[in-house]
Amino acid sequence: MSLYDTLEKLVGRFQVDLAPASHLGIVIGFITADSTPYSLIITSAKAQVVEGVREAEIMIRGTSDSFQKLFDPETSNRVDILKRLSITPDVPWNVWIFQRFFKAFGLDYAGLEVPPRFEGTFPLPLRYPATENPFRVREYQPAPVPSYDQEMLPEMIADDHPEWIAMYHQAWEIGFKNLRQPESGSGFVANFIDTAFNDNTFMWDSCFMMMFGRYAKRLFNFSGTLDNFYAKQHDDGFICREISTYNGRDLFTPQDPRSTGPNIMAWTEWMDFQLSSDANRLREIFAPLVAYHRWWRDWRTWPDGSYWTSGWGSGMDNQSRVPHSEWHHRHYSWTDATMQQALNCQILLKIAAVIGRDEFNDEVQSEYDHLFEYVNTRMWDERSGFYYDVAPDGKLSTIKSIGAYWGLLSDLISDDHAKRMIAHLDDPAQFKRPHRVPTQAADSADYTEDGGYWLGGVWAPTNYMVLRGLTVRGANDLAYEIARNHVENVAKVFQDTGTLWENYAPEKPTPGQPARPHFVGWTGISAINIPLEYLIGLRPQVEDGSLLWDIRLTERHGVLRYPFGQNLIDLVCNARVNADEAPKLIVKAAEGFTLRVTWSGGTREWTLTQGAHELGL
């Protein structure tokens, strides 16, 4: 019997004279893994079944069979069945509610007793759609952690740059050494890559490790790293930014200004989708992403709708843009948090379009429209042409932070404002330092030449964000220039020290101060993503499903075993005398696909079939 049929049959046994007069309008949601979720609305006058669980105040998860047995009048072990179901929120008054629930439907509830004392704390009420999050009830299925296998990963070719190839391979080797299984009792649901910073796993780091991890899914599913964060989502949508690797406990209480963020998981998943085309993944993660977004709006906004965070919550611990803010918001409106929420709105709308789920569209679009107005009227300084954090008195911070470039990734910033923002990246007095891009402008107070962590240090995650923003804005020449500068500086430090570092100094090719060695970690982006996407130049185009090859190198270069959806592609560009010479390509694909090539001489597109092809421009 289906869940709907079971609940409709239950409604037929509703007895008005036994229904409670109190708690009118209690809504109980029911979720199974194999059917549409439904809610049961109960008042003193009637009971009815409705599709969905948006208004549910109590959520019960189980199988259709378990619900059928629970509501069968002939069942003798009803309380035992109830105890085996997943019920949220887990509070003592549930017993009292279920006593009245069973009574109203003429069902025996012997053995269902109210505990004599409750000494815990009440959780916050359910916040839809956190209740639909499938990861919260998922159990870890033991699986071995694979060893590094070069033949199962993309192979980068850059004949004139063996140092790029060497650090590319080292990044993968270190990354695979950091793979691990969940600890028993941690509540994690998947194998994952360890942040390798301390005894905890970090949301911010995990998002960027997934960026390079998406190239290795034939060997290991790096998405499990974020699955563990989704599994730890609270009933109200909160997800802690730092969770103990060993016991699975949150490191911060939700209202701590350091407790969560940055909210870039939706962007991370969307970037993964561009390479994988896995719509089923989007269907799974949509509910936890929407719930987390709504939590931010509930608990991280000021009355004007702008967002706040802290140094730790922004991921850029010690920047001086907001004074004394490492652990506190200081009542500022923060550019990066506000811009990330706007980006999140647009990504959620894109995901909704792919999976055909539009119930949140009006709410999300309305918030985006409000943030657009706020950012461009309150955070923009026309004189300097930059976006800044806003102080409690309405004045703007004087510190140019790389955090303001999150705005390039969405439509939040007009073309005119974008051009002025991009110009700062090419200004030697600000962000165009010997190693690009410092996280705090060189003309700002407290800029530190050796990096000083986030007071000017060059970091893989923020550089990658800037590059992706330049791509969105069509500033491909500058993106290549910055990418080349960054990779060559990282490669020089790699040659000098033999390893990759947590961050780098902006004024000379040395590790930042302080910085951890052997860090993969997000520095895998500098050795894997940025070379593949900006030096080799391969970038999937989600808009039309094509693969763009932006050819700029003149040496023989390319990628073998490039994963594009379910396709595996070899792409090699032969050596050229100069950048103006038309490229000659050798392409071999397991499946047909569309390849769009751009170079200094123009653009050409092919719809290629399975097999090998020699292409001339």
Task: Report d(CA 555, CA 7) in Å as an integer.
Answer: 67
Task: Report d(CA 12, CA 10) in Å as an integer.
Answer: 5
Asked if pLDDT for residue 7 goes beyond 80, the answer is yes
Lowest mean pLDDT among 134-138, 323-327, 465-469: 134-138
Lowest mean pLDDT among 47-61, 82-96, 167-181, 353-367: 82-96
Query: Are 253 and 241 contacting, i.e. CB atoms less than 8 angstroms apart?
Result: no
pTM: 0.93
pLDDT band, residue 384 (cuts 50/70/90): very high
- Residue 362 structure tokens: 């009006």
Percent of the chain at pLDDT exceeding 70: 98
CA dist list (Å): 265 to 137, 293, 402: 20, 10, 19
pLDDT band, residue 23 (cuts 50/70/90): low
Asked if pLDDT for residue 22 goes beyond 60, the answer is no
pLDDT tens, residue by residue, 265-317:
999 999 999 999 999 999 999 999 999 999 999 999 999 999 999 999 999 99
Of residues 22 and 452, more confidently modeled = 452
Average pLDDT in the 415-432 region? 98
pLDDT tens, residue by residue, 527-568:
999 999 999 999 999 889 999 999 999 999 999 999 999 999
Q: Look at residue 543 in the predicted model and tell me its pLDDT.
A: 84
DSSP assignment, residue 16? G
Task: Report d(CA 538, CA 524) in Å as an integer.
Answer: 17
Percent of the chain at pLDDT exceeding 90: 85
Q: Look at residue 123 in the predicted model and tell me its pLDDT.
A: 75
Please give the CATH topology (third level) of the domain spanning 3-123.
Nonspecific Lipid-transfer Protein; Chain A (3.30.1050)
pLDDT band, residue 24 (cuts 50/70/90): low
pLDDT tens, residue by residue, 182-234:
999 999 999 999 998 889 999 999 999 999 999 999 999 999 999 999 999 99
Q: Look at residue 92 in the predicted model and tell me its pLDDT.
A: 77
Average pLDDT in the 108-130 region? 78
Pairing of strands 386-387, 380-381: antiparallel
Asked if pLDDT for residue 251 goes beyond 80, the answer is yes
Residue 293 CB neighbour total at 10 angstroms: 23
Task: Report d(CA 415, CA 227) in Å as an integer.
Answer: 36
Pairing of strands 611-616, 584-589: antiparallel
Secondary structure of residue 517 in the 3-state scheme: strand
Map out the domains of the chain as residue ranges: 3-123, 546-616
DSSP string, 546-595: EEEEE----SSEEEEEEEETTEEEEEEE---SSTTSPPEEEEEESS-EEE
Query: Are 317 and 454 contacting, i.e. CB atoms less than 8 angstroms apart?
Result: yes
Asked if pLDDT for residue 155 goes beyond 60, the answer is yes
Give the dihedral sign, CA 306/310/316/319: positive
Alpha carbon 437 to its chain's center? 23
Average pLDDT in the 414-423 region? 97
Q: Look at residue 21 in the predicted model and tell me its pLDDT.
A: 58
Instruction: Return mean pLDDT, the chain.
Output: 94
Task: Report d(CA 277, CA 299) in Å as an integer.
Answer: 33
Task: Report d(CA 356, CA 283) in Å as an integer.
Answer: 9
Task: Report d(CA 121, CA 5) in Å as an integer.
Answer: 37
pLDDT band, residue 328 (cuts 50/70/90): very high
Average pLDDT in the 451-460 region? 97
DSSP string, 278-332: -HHHHHHHHHHHHHHHHHHHHHSB-TTS-B---HHHHT-TT-SSSTT-SS--TTP
The closest of 203, 194, 210, 86 to 139, measured between CA atoms, is 86
The closest of 381, 383, 382 to 391, measured between CA atoms, is 381
Residue 457 CB neighbour total at 10 angstroms: 28
pLDDT band, residue 131 (cuts 50/70/90): confident
H or E segment at 271? helix 265-276
Q: How close are the terminal C-alpha atoms of the chain, in Å?
A: 62
DSSP string, 432-456: --SSS--SB-TTSTT--TTBTTTTT
CB under 8 Å to 27, separation ≥6 — which residues? 39, 40, 41, 42, 55, 56, 57, 58
- Residue 484 structure tokens: 């080349």
Asked if pLDDT for residue 352 goes beyond 80, the answer is yes
Task: Report d(CA 551, CA 558) in Å as an integer.
Answer: 9
Sheet holding 546-550, edge to edge: 538-541, 546-550, 593-599, 602-608
H or E segment at 11? helix 3-11
Helices (H), 56-215: 64-70, 78-84, 93-104, 162-177, 203-213
H or E segment at 224? helix 224-231
DSSP assignment, residue 180? E
Task: Report d(CA 553, CA 344) in Å as an integer.
Answer: 34
Nearest 5°: the CA angle 324, 327, 328 is 70
Query: Are 172 and 179 contacting, i.e. CB atoms less than 8 angstroms apart?
Result: no
Q: Look at residue 178 in the predicted model and tell me its pLDDT.
A: 97
Backbone torsions φ then ψ of 81, nearest 5 degrees: -65, -45
H or E segment at 497? helix 476-497
Query: Are 485 and 476 contacting, i.e. CB atoms less than 8 angstroms apart?
Result: no
CA dist list (Å): 462 to 23, 402, 528: 51, 7, 15
Average pLDDT in the 252-257 region? 95
DSSP string, 382-402: TTTTEE--B-TTSPBPS--BG
